[in-house]
Amino acid sequence: MAEKPIYKDPQQAIEERVKDLLLRMTIAEKVGQMTQIERSVVTLDAMKNQFIGSILNAGGSTPRSGASAEEWADMVDGFQRWALESRLSIPVLYGTDAVHGHNNCYGATIFPHNIGLGATRDPNLVQKIGEATAIEVRATGIPYTFAPCVAVSRDPRWGRCYESYSEDTETVRKMTTIVQGLQGSPPQSHPKGYPFLASRKNVIACMKHFIGDGGTKGGINEGNTVGSFDELHSVHLKPFLDCLDQGVCTAMASYSSWNSMMLHSHHFLLTQVLKHQLGFKGFVISDWEGIDRLCQPQGSDYRFCISASINAGIDMVMVPHDFQKFIGDLTFLVESGEISMTRIDDAVERILRVKFVGGLFEHPFTDRSLLNLVGCKMHRELAREAVRKSLVLLKNGKNPNKPFLPLSKNGGRILVGGEHAHNLGYQCGGWTITWYGIGGQITQGTTILEAIKAAVGMNTAVIYEENPTETSFKTQEFSSAIVVVGEKPYAEFLGDDPKLELSPKAIETIELVCSKVPTLVILLSGRPLIVEPLIEKMEAFVAAWLPGSEGAGVADVIFGGYEFHGCLPRTWFKRVDQLPMNVGDSNYDPLFPFGFGLKMNLKNQ
């Protein structure tokens, strides 16, 4: 019987398997491993004969609208079968953006976005969220997520502010426990910088976006972070060090620039710092068409883009569509010597290492015993706990001696209004079912209105009017009101906002309802917004961030089932002309300071 090749023998050391496989590979097979393509352009030929190493789905790109977990698993396993038909049967690595639960998958548990998790200041909770997310992602056959985003967002005008746990580096560092949740916890003896994965219930993580995406001037997405290396290190690098300490398997380069040099071609930061100084042994992936941005018009000199990025230290390129051109140009650059075979071998070695560590060679297909855990009760209860702990109480009673919260469940007529009271899509925000998020009943979950109705007693009336008018108050009496307003979903550059104002409709609803009846205002947003002019009208004010599918967590707290726990993960400014303004700044004049959060003092009730 022919000797089993070393790379196919799980008894062999991973580094021996990597070396053995690399020696067997042709240039075409190596170039294919460095290529990541979108699921919509995958073919048998691409997988079998062009050796594509990785596939992703764009935000919102799904097997079909409302696809079940099983349909996801069938799709991913189908791609894997094609990949294993290739000459060396190297398994393909499928990745997705599971950034607050398995948010592309209908019916999956949707956790609060990172800004809300930052408000919890609870590393253990965040680790458990990572564990639950990993299981739901694995249940659909996917072994890789482009998370966590460990950006330290220094300006709320940035469209990705909600993807950042906090403006404060130390707070972001605390939340990097999500890497252990996603990948599992490495033993003390685990070599620093070496990728780690515990089991088939864990997923390969991706620390992103390296580095400084949250520090761009004016919060401009994909903009320019200016400052010394010491400043870059003290504000933005430390959370990446914590991810490395946890054995993070991959890193994603940032679209942004540092001192006007784009990260996607930054040899000093990608190779000298991340790989050589910090000893990172996983692989660096580009962002979506990230290398194309290295020349203007975008992608016009594609060979230059490839040469500059790969030579800087990018190992895998998220092409993601025209992979024939990428493969052709990269092959030309290798054969011409503009990209050395040493560089190619380093990139492929890193990719293979992650695939071996990820167990893909032994377990290339879905563990379907996990399927029933997608959106399961246990995970939804965890998400509900996270919602409770993320809420920040900013005002409780026009008269501090007469707290307005907790509201009574027994008796009275509560008006519930506002665009966000009964809208699951708004509750979840961007990166949910679609890339930038949409309103409506987009998946399975509980809206805040539904939660309020379920929470109150039989003798309490809950009247819902999305847009209350003067007439609403002429024809009926209310003992109190709850107005839920906020931002509509967005992602990335679509969320860049120099004004940070509430919509006219939200302001109108707040002003009207507050003038008629004692009102709790709940804000659903990816960041602080201008509210100072309205605060005095409110009886109570709660920041709920982007809570996700389990709106019941809001009702749990406002009716006194649980005490408020959250505190501000970011400074609440008064006016945008104060920005950027972060805790520790000399010009610090906030409406509510970083770390602020009131209690209801339930025991005294």
Interface with ligand GLC (CB under 6 A): 58-59, 97, 146, 208, 287-288
> Residue 558 corresponds to which tokens in the numbers above?
């406002």
What does DSSP assign to residue 268? I
Closest separation in Å from C-beta 181 to ligand GLC? 18
How do strand 54-56 and strand 35-38 relate by DSSP bridges?
parallel
Nearer to ligand GLC, 205 or 442 (CB): 205
Angle at 96 between CA 425 and CA 543, to 5 degrees: 35
Nearer to ligand GLC, 256 or 446 (CB): 256
Closest separation in Å from C-beta 149 to ligand GLC? 7
Residue type, 333: L
Among residues 163, 315, 385, 492, which one is catalytic?
Answer: 492
C-alpha pair distances (Å), 271 with each of 80, 225, 236, 282, 366: 31, 19, 17, 12, 34
Radius of gyration of the chain (CA): 25
Nearer to ligand GLC, 146 or 573 (CB): 146
Nearer to ligand GLC, 434 or 519 (CB): 434
Closest separation in Å from C-beta 553 to ligand GLC? 26
Catalytic residue flag (residue 492): yes
Nearer to ligand GLC, 253 or 449 (CB): 253
Closest separation in Å from C-beta 209 to ligand GLC? 6
Catalytic residue flag (residue 497): no
Distance of CA 142 to the CA centre of its chain: 16
Closest separation in Å from C-beta 414 to ligand GLC? 40
Nearer to ligand GLC, 255 or 404 (CB): 255
Length of the chain: 605
What does DSSP assign to residue 501? B
Distance of CA 584 to the CA centre of its chain: 26
How do strand 257-258 and strand 261-262 relate by DSSP bridges?
antiparallel
Closest separation in Å from C-beta 358 to ligand GLC? 18
**Whole-angstrom distance, CA of residue 92 vs CA of residue 46:** 11
* H-assigned helices in 400-503: 424-428, 448-455, 470-475
Q: Where would I find the beta strands (DSSP E) of 437-573?
A: 461-465, 480-486, 519-524, 540-543
Cβ atoms of residues 333 and 365 within 8 Å: no
Nearer to ligand GLC, 115 or 405 (CB): 115
C-alpha pair distances (Å), 297 with each of 106, 223, 224, 256: 37, 17, 18, 17
Closest separation in Å from C-beta 130 to ligand GLC? 16
Q: Residues near 566 by Cβ (< 8 Å), separated by ≥ 6?
A: 116, 119, 120, 121, 389, 390, 391, 392, 393, 543, 597
Closest by CA to 519, choosing from 387, 400, 405, 399, is 405
Closest separation in Å from C-beta 324 to ligand GLC? 21
> Residue 204 corresponds to which tokens in the numbers above?
């390969």
- Residue whose token pair is 């940035």: 158
> Residue 396 corresponds to which tokens in the numbers above?
């409780």
Closest separation in Å from C-beta 497 to ligand GLC? 18
C-alpha pair distances (Å), 539 with each of 470, 480, 535, 566, 573: 19, 10, 8, 19, 20
Cβ atoms of residues 38 and 46 within 8 Å: no
Half-sphere exposure of 87 (CA within 13 A, CB side): 12
Half-sphere exposure of 576 (CA within 13 A, CB side): 14
How do strand 540-543 and strand 224-225 relate by DSSP bridges?
unpaired
Nearer to ligand GLC, 318 or 360 (CB): 318
* H-assigned helices in 360-498: 377-390, 424-428, 448-455, 470-475
Nearer to ligand GLC, 59 or 486 (CB): 59
Closest separation in Å from C-beta 208 to ligand GLC? 6
Question: Cis ω on the peptide bond leading into residue 489 (within 30° of 0)?
Answer: no
* Dihedral angle computed from the Cα positions of residues 443, 178, 196 and 432, in that order, rounded to the nearest 10 degrees: 20
Nearer to ligand GLC, 29 or 97 (CB): 97
**Whole-angstrom distance, CA of residue 52 vs CA of residue 71:** 22
Closest by CA to 32, choosing from 323, 403, 234, is 323
Residues paired with residue 295 on neighbouring β-strands, in sequence order: none
Closest separation in Å from C-beta 37 to ligand GLC? 12
**Whole-angstrom distance, CA of residue 547 vs CA of residue 427:** 6
Among residues 287, 349, 419, 550, which one is catalytic?
Answer: 287
Nearer to ligand GLC, 72 or 361 (CB): 72
- Positions marked active-site: 287, 492
